[in-house]
Amino acid sequence: MNRHPDKRSRLVDAAVRLVHEQGFARTTLADIAGAAGVPLGNVYYYFKTKEAIGEALVAHHAGHYATLRGQWNQSGDARSRLAAFVQMTADNRAVLARSGCPVGTLCAELHKAGGPLAEQTGAIFTELLGWLEEQFRALGRDTDAADLALHLLSALQGVSLIAHSLDDPEYVDRETARLTGWIQTL
C-alpha cells in the first residue's frame, strides 16, 4: 500500500476529522474532497466507494490505538499504564465534549447501519479490552481482570457520551478523577 501517500493520506486525514465532527453518513465525499484539496471525481481513483473510505477510517483508528498501546507497553508498570489510559481521556476533555469519542461514536453509527464495517470498528474495542485485561492481570487480579477491564472502558465510553450529549467537558473531569483514584486502590 501507500503508493499514493500524499493525496490518499490527505483524504484519510480529512475523513477522520470530518467524520468525527459530523458523523459518517452526514459527511459527503464532496466534503472530504474539498477538505483534502482533491477534486471530487479524483477521490474514486483512491477509493472505489464511500465504504472503502470507511474501511480506511477504521483502519486508521485501529492503528492509532495499536501504536498507543505499543508506547505504553514500553515503560512503566501496569498501574501507571492504566493511569495513562485514563489520563488520555482526561486530556481530551474538550474534544470529547464537542464531538464525543471518535471510536465510540463511529461504532454506534456504523452498527445502526449494519454491514461489515460495523464489525471492524467493534474490533477496536475488543483489542482495547484485551490490553486492559492484561494490565489488571499484571496487578494480580487474575479472577476478575476481564470484568475490571470492561468496567473501566464502560465508564470512559459512558462519560464521553454524556459529556458529548451535554456539551460539557466538566463531566469528563469528574469521572476521570474518580477512575484515577480507583486505579490507585487496586
Partner DNA sequence: GTCTATACATGGATAGAC
Partner DNA sequence: GTCTATCCATGTATAGAC
**Closer to its own copies by Cβ: residue 34 or 122:** 122
13, 21, 51, 55: which one binds DNA (CB under 7 A): 51
73: partner contacted, choices DNA, its own copies, none (Cβ within 5-8 A by kind): none
Residue that is written with C-alpha cell 486492559 in the block: 132
- Which one, of 62, 12, 60, lies nearest residue 38 by Cα? 12
Gap between the Cα atoms of 185 and 178, Å rounded = 11
- Measure the CA angle with vertex 114, ends 28 and 62; round to 5°: 75
Task: Say if CB 179 and CB 155 are below 8 A apart.
Answer: yes
The contact set with its own copies (CB under 8 A) reads: 21-23, 25-26, 99-100, 104-105, 107-109, 111-113, 118, 121-122, 125-126, 146-147, 150-151, 153-159, 161-162, 164-167, 171, 174-175, 178
**Which residues contact DNA by CB under 7 A?**
3-4, 7, 26-30, 38-42, 44-45, 48-51
